[in-house]
Amino acid sequence: MPFPDVKLANRPLHFLYLCDCSGSMAASGKMQALNQAIRQSLPGMAAVARDNPEARVLVRAVSFADRAAWHIETPTPVDQLEWRDLQAGGITAMGAALQLVAAALQTPPMEVRALPPVLVLISDGQPTDDFAGGLEALRRVPWAQKAVRLAIALGHDADLEVLQRFIGSEPATGGRSPRRPLQAGNATSLAQYIQWASTAVVGAASMPASRVSETPLEPAAGNIPLPDLPPTVLDPTDDVGPVVW
């Protein structure tokens, strides 16, 4: 006879991409690389969601260029997600994107109870609108304060200072850290970071991974211990560093 038809209670985990679609993203295939990286990451993300029955992983995406707009407005279960390609063209209304996300993280429409949301900001340039105003609006929303905020800098023209302000205060120790903008110099490393954010970070936010004593518990934004960044896996076809950007 079957086990009683009951299942573990779960909480929503909102995962939001904020994607820069300004004109510069059209250069050197960056826009295509981002579309590919996100599309390729979805099966892995769905697998992590499956393995974490405590979490109901829901994905949304905002694109920003001349203005900010929802690319995926309905919080969508990851296994039902179909990624339509983003198109590049225009300037960089990053502040407006933050305003849009801030409104979405208000309760309602946000649930009363949830897991910490995950916000991933991807940009290759500098905001052309009121970034400070957008960030301020975001910071006032309790769910945004609780959110895990990650940023990926595409190429060397990205404004690292702006991305750091989005993440929060910089860690005291030097070196690569998820609390600093992740610098993607080529399509391979972009795909790695997107995969890491959509699997390891989603896993950590939904059901904390096994803990080791030396895990540095970073203060400030550290309401979720972040997993190690992906190791630098040498690309067998291209071991000469950034060739595209």
Interface residues toward other proteins, by CB under 8 A: 1-9, 11, 44, 50-53, 112-116, 142-143, 146, 188, 191-192, 195, 200, 203, 207-215, 222-225, 227-228, 230-236
Among 123, 21, 18, 15, residue whose Cα is nearest residue 62: 18
Q: What angle do CA 188, 98, 168 make, to 5 degrees?
A: 70
Among 202, 197, 176, 205, residue whose Cα is nearest residue 37: 197
Smallest gap, in angstroms, from Cβ of residue 146 to other proteins?
Answer: 4
Residue 95 vs 203, nearer CB to other proteins: 203
Q: 86 near 48, Cβ under 8 Å?
A: no
Smallest gap, in angstroms, from Cβ of residue 236 to other proteins?
Answer: 7
Residue 25 vs 46, nearer CB to other proteins: 46
Smallest gap, in angstroms, from Cβ of residue 158 to other proteins?
Answer: 23
Smallest gap, in angstroms, from Cβ of residue 157 to other proteins?
Answer: 26
What 3-state DSSP class applies to 203?
helix
Residue 74 vs 210, nearer CB to other proteins: 210
Residue 86 vs 148, nearer CB to other proteins: 148
Smallest gap, in angstroms, from Cβ of residue 169 to other proteins?
Answer: 17
β-pair partners for 19? 63, 122
Place of tokens 């429409």: 109
C-alpha pair distances (Å), 54 with each of 9, 70, 107, 148, 206: 7, 27, 21, 18, 7
Task: Write b or e for each residue in 130-142: b if 16 or more Cβ atoms lie within 10 A of its Cβ, otherwise e.
Answer: bbeebbebbeebe
Residue 230 vs 242, nearer CB to other proteins: 230
Q: 211 near 225, Cβ under 8 Å?
A: yes
Output the six-digit token pair for 86: 């983003």
Q: Largest Cα–Cα distance in the chain?
A: 63
Residue 50 vs 67, nearer CB to other proteins: 50
Smallest gap, in angstroms, from Cβ of residue 107 to other proteins?
Answer: 8
